[in-house]
Amino acid sequence: MALRSTLLRASKTVALATPACYLAGGRHFWARADASAPLHTRPQLPPPPAPAAAGAGGDAEGGAFAALLERLLATNNQFAQGGLQLMAVGAALAAARAVLLAGLELCRRRVLVSAEIDSRDDAYRWVMFWLAQQEGFREARCVSVHTALGTTFGTSVPPSLQQQGGDEGAPKVTYLPAPGWHLLRHQGRLFAVARRRAGGNPQLAANARLLMETLSIVTLGASRAPLEALLAEAAAAYRCSQRARTGVWSVDQDGYWAQVGSRPVRPLSSIVLPPGQAEAILADCQEFLEAEDWYARRGIPWRRGYLLYGPPGSGKTSLVTGLAGALSLDIYVITLSSPAMSDEILRGLLNQAAPRALLLLEDVDAAFTHGRAAAAAGGGGAGGGGGGRLTFSGLLNALDGVAAQEGRLLFMTTNHLDRLDPALIRPGRVDVRCKIDTATPRQVEDLFFAFYADRPATMAAPTAAAAAAAAAAAAGGALESFDDGGGGAEAAGGERQPLLAKPGGGDARALRALAAEFAAAVAGAGADVSMAALQGHLMRFKRDPPGALAAAGALLAEARAAAEARAAKGGGGGGGE
């Protein structure tokens, strides 16, 4: 009990000894009661001020904070004063750190030149392709291994960058520096190159199409000229590697463009069409690409659409590939019938494609069939598209709406022209229509001659193997490939005779005569043969022109069977060129 009374008395003494502050009449009053003085001798303090009105919120809060701060400063409480000192030191250190970082950033901008490249940008591809060829960059100790570098860079990979695996026939691998900092010397100047990958969940980053990797290039100096020279050299090297190749782009699972690779440029002369057909389309494309000012002066949208229609396998896609190679353009393929395709994705794809590119919409008849009729019947959108799917109106707006891009060539292919809605192929969306039909006798002859022209054959009677193949095919047997590895027919004495001889004076004339005979055999049967079927037939006898002629009957039988199958399906047909 004595201890409890002592503690209570001490607490009262501390409370009475603590100074009190009041604000009255615009002045502060500080007072401290003397615990030992009688009650009637203690100073009388003015009454505390009334709470501030709601309208004077800012001034009242500021006055209360100032009063609290003055009270803390005037008191002898060591904890309060220590806390204030720590707060002041922390604020000063934070300000000093901010000033230091700002100064370092200013110095870095003054003495360093840097460039950052996003892996989603085309520049990343050609810069990495150029860096992979630099000796200093290739000798890094920490490497990442690539076996499909052509897909990564979308171009051909120089043999010097590839290394053969340990076993014969093993895939070739390419070593690139792993993520991190690397040093590179270019034109006597030192560059620091850093590869950084995005953190977090890789699967989430991939699904959200976030930033996957960045490439930073840094060098000392106040001018951007050395860095621009490096980038220009990298761009030139990439363009040089692409000069003989055609890039092919497709839509990935997230609805973005992804380069699936590249292929050698296909000469337009290798596409056998009626005389002048391919050349006329090429001339029209070239005129369009050079007429931007002409379109602008007349207020006409700078767009050009082409429709290639005809039976499957007639060469529509092959023609597009040849045109892209002749125009040095990449091909951007869009599959409208994809379940993931929607109006927003299609509009984004058309906006994100390269400014000069060839857009290919294959088999548009498979995606939309009389869109207006389907919409009028209450089908939930043209072509049966429901919620989240591509609609017919969305396709039309993407092609020539307000947000449609200009300066690109648009090619659409179809096997059935009559199934397309007139709104899709009206002038303005489709400016040029071109029918790619089944092979004519002239095309058959030209294809046969072009197929064997690089190594003219010695024209002789059909070989025994070819005759047997033709008989088996006529009897319904499977037609096999009689490519005997570059050998030839065996003579009576068992010695192999070469089917392909060196070019001679009469070989070309003999080959042309054999080609005319083959064309007459195909055309005389009255069956419609596609160019794809002809090419497949010649591939079976790629070293035996007489054998291809002898087996022409099998080709015609296959063509008739295919025509009957299409007729049984009501004129339908699968996809194809």
Domains along the chain? 113-161+172-242 (no CATH), 257-435 (3.40.50.300), 441-489+496-568 (no CATH)
pTM of the full predicted structure?
A: 0.66
Tokens 């396709």 belong to 395
Give the H/E segment covering residue 192: strand 189-197
Instruction: Round to whole Å and give the CA distance between 418 and 414.
Output: 10
Structure letter (DSSP) for residue 457: B
Could you tell me the CA-to-CA distances from 393 to 162, 348, 385, 426 in Å, in that order? 49, 15, 10, 14
Instruction: Round to whole Å and give the CA distance between 193 and 295.
Output: 44
First-residue to last-residue Cα distance in the chain: 106
Local confidence pLDDT in tens for the 577 residues of the chain: 454 454 445 444 544 444 544 445 555 555 554 544 444 444 554 555 555 454 455 556 666 766 766 666 666 667 777 777 788 888 889 999 998 888 887 877 778 888 888 877 778 888 888 887 887 676 777 877 776 555 455 444 454 455 544 455 556 677 777 888 888 888 888 888 888 887 655 554 444 444 578 888 998 888 888 888 988 998 888 888 777 888 888 888 778 888 887 888 889 888 888 888 999 999 999 999 999 999 999 999 999 999 999 988 888 999 999 999 999 899 999 988 888 888 899 988 988 888 889 999 988 888 765 444 444 444 444 444 444 588 888 888 888 877 778 888 999 999 889 889 899 999 888 999 999 988 888 998 998 988 888 764 444 444 555 555 544 544 444 334 434 333 333 333 333 333 333 344 457 888 888 888 888 888 776 678 888 888 888 888 888 888 888 888 888 888 888 777 777 776 544 455 5
Instruction: Round to whole Å and give the CA distance between 117 and 19.
Output: 65
Instruction: Round to whole Å and give the CA distance between 203 and 41.
Output: 80
State residue 138's pLDDT score: 67
Could you tell me the CA-to-CA distances from 101 to 105, 110, 135, 501 in Å, in that order? 6, 14, 36, 77
Long-range CB pairs of 96-105, under 8 A, 24+ apart, other chains included? none
State residue 562's pLDDT score: 77
3-state secondary structure of 401: coil
Are 329 and 358 within 8 A, CB to CB? yes
